[in-house]
């Protein structure tokens, strides 16, 4: 390799890093390969670009797209950033990247060499370049899931239907997808239950636990060992709370023979990391294929957050004869890390595409089989025979559902119509649009003050109440009723800047401790039993004047923590949409920035909108940015 080419590549990498086009780890790929003996300039450049794609959540670099449209393929330069340095096209042309002589440095699909960190795969849609670990994960996950899909369980249909009749109320809907999800999962070693907010995923899985517990005890003569988990501590705590509540409600309705099964159902969920037994300061886990988790059934909630490496670790640690059930919304944001496991598994699920044998197993009457005709496809992929999509939303106000559905369909015409016809910023409608394009920020300020007024009033009530009547839980609930959301962390419309803006509007300093400061935990603290994403509120104790932070524990009880013990927290008047996954708020406010960004997609907007339970406000800085974001879809 010529010194000129290496010097040029490093100069470009430094420029891109300085302008935040790429990450430090992407730039470091060059030196890593040089130390490994690689000398081909195109190979070094492609390794950096493949690493950059991984940072965007993509497991591979599509070479045809890179050749035809480098800037679009790489999303470089990022929107809104200064375009004053070398472009991707210039770099690729200068290093003659599309001269295929660099291919001798990588492993081609089908060869056994483990020496190259990159793998080149030829597929029907073109060539892709993978970092080896992501290529391994894709190969492993595909083979492992294929084996699990082949595992089926013999079921007594009469007994199963009798149990399902007891578990599910008579439904006016012609097709009870929740019941069909249970019938499907009862027969398979692997299954997926997907659906939007309010479609009853928790309601369904609680009944599935009863069904599987009954089947297992009849077959094996002992209780089913159940493990429940979610990708984040916040989601795990919410899963535990939801399961407990659903079990309590179910217990009052069941006949005696089914009530006995509830005592053997574990109701405390953990994080996936804890389930796998993460080893501190490493990428390894205690549980793997040689030391699997001791469980007969593993249920993972919020599976849209699972990245490809976490899925690999989960499959390695799940016993071959255990059942694995994934729950989640296929249309929500994919994982922060590379991969879109749930989205890939559920692609096409809205159309069913069920084989006739699958339809027979899902239904229990000839009338239902006839109704499933529109979901029939004998050529449907095998994976969809293990997926049931819940379709009836029970949680949403209709107006919120209309916005969410328009975003999900990428229907910009309907969305533009809703912008112009629904009430603007009144605060009284179910959906409000606050258009800031030709307006001062005064209405946004009024929205902030009005939104947090209930919370600040509850805090004042707590402060003035006698000690025995102080209810910190009421303050926490009041805070959780209203939430500002943004798709970005940085920039003038990112979470950091907006948190400072809200603090200024409310007359406080967002960076210091004060009574009323809401904070979010940003890193798991096992000593304090606080999880990444937990939210607390700061109180000043009237008797001593000292500050304490109140959080809900896993049982819904308030616990108090000294601010000095909280090393990883940030002010959270505003949170990112990513951080809000798994949560719901009575009134959610989604803020759209003035400039486009690669992270603004229909999945992000859909996830933000569906956090609202009763009321939704969309703050639109520029109409075109919002509509452009709806037109963009994450493609992993």
Domain ranges of the chain: 1-131, 151-355+382-389, 398-631
pLDDT band at 315 (very low <50, low <70, confident <90, very high): very high
Residue 588: pLDDT over 90: yes
Q: In what order do the strands lie in the sheet with 60-62?
A: 60-62, 126-131, 118-123, 107-108
195 in a labelled binding site: yes
| pTM (predicted TM-score) | 0.85
Would 151-355+382-389 and 398-631 be classified into the same CATH topology?
yes
Task: List the Cα angle 582/457/533 in 5-degree steps.
Answer: 20
Q: Nearest Cα to 502, choosing from 428, 415, 574, 402? A: 574
198 in a labelled binding site: yes
For the ranges 310-324, 328-342, 578-592, the maximum mean pLDDT occurs at 310-324
Residue 80: pLDDT over 60: no
- On the 0-12 / 13-18 / 19+ scale of CB atoms within 10 A, 173 is exposed
Residue 208: pLDDT over 90: yes
Beta bridge partners of 188: 152
Q: Which of 98-102, 403-407, 443-447, 547-551 has the lowest mean pLDDT?
A: 98-102
pLDDT value of residue 543: 81
Q: Nearest Cα to 341, choosing from 379, 313, 318, 365? A: 313
Residue 636: pLDDT over 80: no
Kindly give, in sequence order, each residue whose CB lies less than 8 Å from that of residue 481, ignoring residues fewer than 6 positions away.
454, 455, 585, 586, 587
Q: Nearest Cα to 232, choosing from 270, 285, 194, 281? A: 270
Contact 590, 404 (CB under 8 A): no
Task: Give the separation between CA 285 and CA 273, rounded to whole angstroms.
Answer: 8
Architecture of domain 398-631: 3-Layer(aba) Sandwich (3.40)
290 in a labelled binding site: no
Q: What number of helices (H) and strands (E) belong to the chain?
A: 25, 20
**Which tops the pLDDT comparison, 486 or 108?**
486
**Which tops the pLDDT comparison, 236 or 449?**
449
Q: Nearest Cα to 213, choosing from 202, 224, 226? A: 224
pLDDT value of residue 425: 45
pLDDT band at 91 (very low <50, low <70, confident <90, very high): very high
**Which tops the pLDDT comparison, 359 or 636?**
359
**Average confidence (pLDDT) over 244-262:** 80
Task: Tell me the per-residue pLDDT of 33-64, one tens digit each, with 9 for 90 and over.
Answer: 988 888 888 999 999 999 999 998 889 999 99
**Average confidence (pLDDT) over 473-483:** 92
Task: Give the separation between CA 225 and CA 233, rounded to whole angstroms.
Answer: 21
Task: Give the separation between CA 51 and CA 134, rounded to whole angstroms.
Answer: 11
- Please report the DSSP string for 79-133 in residue order: TTS---S--HHHHHHHTTTTSGGGGGGSEETT------SEEEEEETTEEEEEEHH
Task: Give the separation between CA 545 and CA 451, rounded to whole angstroms.
Answer: 27
201 in a labelled binding site: yes
pLDDT value of residue 61: 94
- On the 0-12 / 13-18 / 19+ scale of CB atoms within 10 A, 583 is middle
**Which tops the pLDDT comparison, 539 or 174?**
539
**Which tops the pLDDT comparison, 31 or 556?**
31
* Average pLDDT score, the chain: 87
Task: Give the separation between CA 131 and CA 110, rounded to whole angstroms.
Answer: 15
491 in a labelled binding site: no
Q: Which CATH class is domain 151-355+382-389?
A: alpha beta
**Average confidence (pLDDT) over 470-488:** 91
pLDDT band at 598 (very low <50, low <70, confident <90, very high): confident
197 in a labelled binding site: yes
Say which DSSP state 285 is in: B
Q: Nearest Cα to 186, choosing from 217, 151, 155? A: 155
**Average confidence (pLDDT) over 268-295:** 88
**Which tops the pLDDT comparison, 226 or 631?**
226
pLDDT band at 554 (very low <50, low <70, confident <90, very high): low
pLDDT band at 81 (very low <50, low <70, confident <90, very high): low
- Please report the DSSP string for 572-589 in residue order: -SEEEHHHHTT--EEEEE
Contact 64, 45 (CB under 8 A): no
pLDDT band at 426 (very low <50, low <70, confident <90, very high): very low
202 in a labelled binding site: yes
Residue 192's φ and ψ, nearest 5 degrees, are -130, 135
For the ranges 105-119, 242-256, 417-431, the maximum mean pLDDT occurs at 242-256
Task: Give the separation between CA 580 and CA 595, rounded to whole angstroms.
Answer: 22
pLDDT value of residue 79: 65
What is the CATH T-level fold of the domain 1-131, as seen in this structure? Arc Repressor Mutant, subunit A (1.10.10)
**Average confidence (pLDDT) over 2-23:** 90
Residue 361's φ and ψ, nearest 5 degrees, are -75, -25
Contact 120, 103 (CB under 8 A): yes
Task: Give the separation between CA 87 and CA 71, rounded to whole angstroms.
Answer: 8
Cis peptide before 129 (omega within 30 of 0): no
The fraction of the chain above a pLDDT of 70, given in percent, is 94
pLDDT band at 422 (very low <50, low <70, confident <90, very high): low
pLDDT value of residue 427: 46
Task: Give the separation between CA 76 and CA 74, rounded to whole angstroms.
Answer: 5
pLDDT value of residue 287: 93
Contact 604, 487 (CB under 8 A): yes
pLDDT band at 384 (very low <50, low <70, confident <90, very high): very high
């Amino acid at each position: 390799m010529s010194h000129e080419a290496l010097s040029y590549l490093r100069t470009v990498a430094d420029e891109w890093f300085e302008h935040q086009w790429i990450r430090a780890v992407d730039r470091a790929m060059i030196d890593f390969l040089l130390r490994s003996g690689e000398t081909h300039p195109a190979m070094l450049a492609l390794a950096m670009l493949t690493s950059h794609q991984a940072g965007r959540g993509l497991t591979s670099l599509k070479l045809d797209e890179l050749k035809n449209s480098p800037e679009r393929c790489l999303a470089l330069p990022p929107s809104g950033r200064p375009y004053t340095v070398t472009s991707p096209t210039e770099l690729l042309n200068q290093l003659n990247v599309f001269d295929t002589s660099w291919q001798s440095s990588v492993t081609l699909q089908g060869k056994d060499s483990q020496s190259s960190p990159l793998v080149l795969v030829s597929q029907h849609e073109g060539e892709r370049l993978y970092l080896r670990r992501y290529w391994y994960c894709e190969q492993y996950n595909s083979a492992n899931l294929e084996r699990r899909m082949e595992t089926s369980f013999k079921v007594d249909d009469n007994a199963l239907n009798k149990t399902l009749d007891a578990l599910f109320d008579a439904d006016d809907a012609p097709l009870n997808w929740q019941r069909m999800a249970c019938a499907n999962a009862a027969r398979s070693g692997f299954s997926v239950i997907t659906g939007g907010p309010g479609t009853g995923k928790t309601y369904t899985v609680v009944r599935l636990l009863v069904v599987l517990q009954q089947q297992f005890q009849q077959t094996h003569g002992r209780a089913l060992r159940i493990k429940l988990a979610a990708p984040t501590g916040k989601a795990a705590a919410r899963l535990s709370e939801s399961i407990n509540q659903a079990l309590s409600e179910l217990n009052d309705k069941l006949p005696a023979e089914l009530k006995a099964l509830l005592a053997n159902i574990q109701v405390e969920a953990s994080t996936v990391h804890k389930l796998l037994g993460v080893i501190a300061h490493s990428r390894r886990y205690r549980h793997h294929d040689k030391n699997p988790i001791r469980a007969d059934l593993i249920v993972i909630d919020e599976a849209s957050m699972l990245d490809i490496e976490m899925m690999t670790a989960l499959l390695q640690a799940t016993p071959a004869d255990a059942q694995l059930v994934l729950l989640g919304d296929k249309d929500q944001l994919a994982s922060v890390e590379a991969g879109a496991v749930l989205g890939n598994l559920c692609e096409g699920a809205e159309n069913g595409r069920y084989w006739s044998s699958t339809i027979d197993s899902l239904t229990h009457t000839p009338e239902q089989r006839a109704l499933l005709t529109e979901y029939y496809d004998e050529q449907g992929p095998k994976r969809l025979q293990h997926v049931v999509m819940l379709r009836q939303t029970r949680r949403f106000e209709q107006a919120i559902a209309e916005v969410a559905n328009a975003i999900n369909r990428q229907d910009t015409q309907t969305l533009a119509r809703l912008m112009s016809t629904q009430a603007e910023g009144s605060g009284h409608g179910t959906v409000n649009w606050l258009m800031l394009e030709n307006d001062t920020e005064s209405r946004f300020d009024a929205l902030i003050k009005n939104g947090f007024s209930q919370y600040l009033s509850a805090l004042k009530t707590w402060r003035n109440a006698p000690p025995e009547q102080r209810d910190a839980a009421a303050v926490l609930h009041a805070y959780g009723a209203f939430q500002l959301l943004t798709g970005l962390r940085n920039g003038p419309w990112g979470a950091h800047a907006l948190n400072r803006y809200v603090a200024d509007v409310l007359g406080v300093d967002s960076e210091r401790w004060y009574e009323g400061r809401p904070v979010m935990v940003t890193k798991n603290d096992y000593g304090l039993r606080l999880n990444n994403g937990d939210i607390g509120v700061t109180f000043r104790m009237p008797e001593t004047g000292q500050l304490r932070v109140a959080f809900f524990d896993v049982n819904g009880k308030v616990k108090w923590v000294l601010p000095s013990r909280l090393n990883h927290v940030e002010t959270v008047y505003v949170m990112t949409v990513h951080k809000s996954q798994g949560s719901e708020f009575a009134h959610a406010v989604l803020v759209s920035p003035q400039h486009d960004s690669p992270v603004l997609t229909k999945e992000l907007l859909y996830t933000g909108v569906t956090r609202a339970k009763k009321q939704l406000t969309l703050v639109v800085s520029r109409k075109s940015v919002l509509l452009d974001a709806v037109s963009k879809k994450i493609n992993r």
